[in-house]
Amino acid sequence: MVDEFSLIQSIQPKEKRHKDLMTGIGDDAAVYRTDHHAEQMICMDTMTEGIHFTSATMKAYDIGWKALAANISDIAAMGGFPDYYLVSVAMPSEWSSEMKEMYRGMEDLGSMFQMDLIGGDTTSSRSGLVITITAVGHAEQGKVFLRSGAKPGDLVFVTGYLGESAAGLALLLKDIDINDQKAKHQLIKSHQRPMPQVEAARLLRGIPSRFAVNDISDGLASEANEIAEASGVTININYQSLPVSKSLSQLDAHDQRRFMLSGGEDYQLLITAPEENSEVLRDVFMKHGVLLTKIGVVTRGRPEVYLIDKGTKTLLTKSGYNHFKSNKE
């Protein structure tokens, strides 16, 4: 088993990326100054071996990358800038030699957004690897995005492509297969090293408009229902409008559908915006090369989501990943 203090020394950052950070790793707690003109935000996510990954689907580097990506995505969905993160690891002996690689995955992703690692905890585990990350960020006052911000008449948008991560996992588990090796590599990469949409959140902050935002971690169907419930509105999604990547198009229609609607961990953003601001929204995203697609509308009604597919309208329930029930489709 790796020595805890040696591990801490090996992962201790050589520099501080934030001038407000006073004390990071190496003491009983981290200390940083707060900006009284900003809203502070904090979130936490846990990844558990056997639930979120196995040694067959994720290498240590990818586990670190993805665990931090999930937290950064939550900060982005709230309209925030990610600043700091803390890591708690429960580690079985068979993973001890891999810990530096896991932290390297976090460091490589965190450095893209100028995040500082400021602390955490390490302990042993007898039942698989468990990694919990707490991320701290901030948003400009009045620029926090909530799920409750959708109103009737809004349009519904999504960034990037959907379903690639779930397809990548299915490929790793050998539940499906495709002949196109380039597409296969892209889908697996989307699962192992997703990119949180910090840039999309930055673009939204620059547009004077009202938004409701949710990150797509548990699947489009689940996240759309969360916005509908929080806002007290009906969301209507046009299936033919969903953006299909070239890689996902290599799969049959049934697999494409289930991965786009119910596959999670894409970490794209689901956005509602007033129709009168939609042209500006699309122009800004196009100018910066960020894919944004209109996929539906918000209407008055019960807090529900409907899928419109070739003229047929059906109720779209929370069919994404749920930790506390069977997730078989």
HSE, CB side, 13 Å, CA atoms: give it for residue 236.
14
SS3 212: strand
Q: How far is CA 262 from CA 43, 165, 297, in A?
A: 23, 11, 19
> Binding site residues, as ranges?
28, 45, 52, 74, 103, 120-121, 147, 215, 217-218, 265, 321
Three-state SS string over 73-131 comes to HHHHHCCCEEEEEEEEEEECHHHHHHHHHHHHHHHHHHHHCCCEEEEEEEEECCCCCEE
Backbone angles phi, psi at 47, to 5 degrees: -115, 130
SS3 17: coil
Please enumerate, by residue number, every residue annotated as part of a binding site for substrate.
52, 265, 321
The two beta strands, 312-315 and 305-309, are: antiparallel
Q: Which residues participate in the annotated binding site for ATP?
A: 103, 120-121, 147, 217
- 74, 139 contact by CB (below 8 A): no
Other CB atoms within a 10 A radius of the CB of residue 35 amount to 11
- Residue 51 and residue 10: Cα distance in Å, rounded? 28
Bind-site residues for Mg(2+): 28, 45, 74, 121, 215, 218
Helices (H) and strands (E) in the chain, counts: 9, 13
| Among 36, 51, 109, CA closest to 264 | 51
Question: DSSP label at 232?
Answer: T
Exposure string (b/e) for 129-140, b if CB count within 10 Å is 16 or more? bbbbbbbbbbbe
Which DSSP letter does residue 154 get? -
Measured distance CA(183)–CA(42) in Å, rounded: 36
Bridge partners (DSSP) of residue 91 are 124
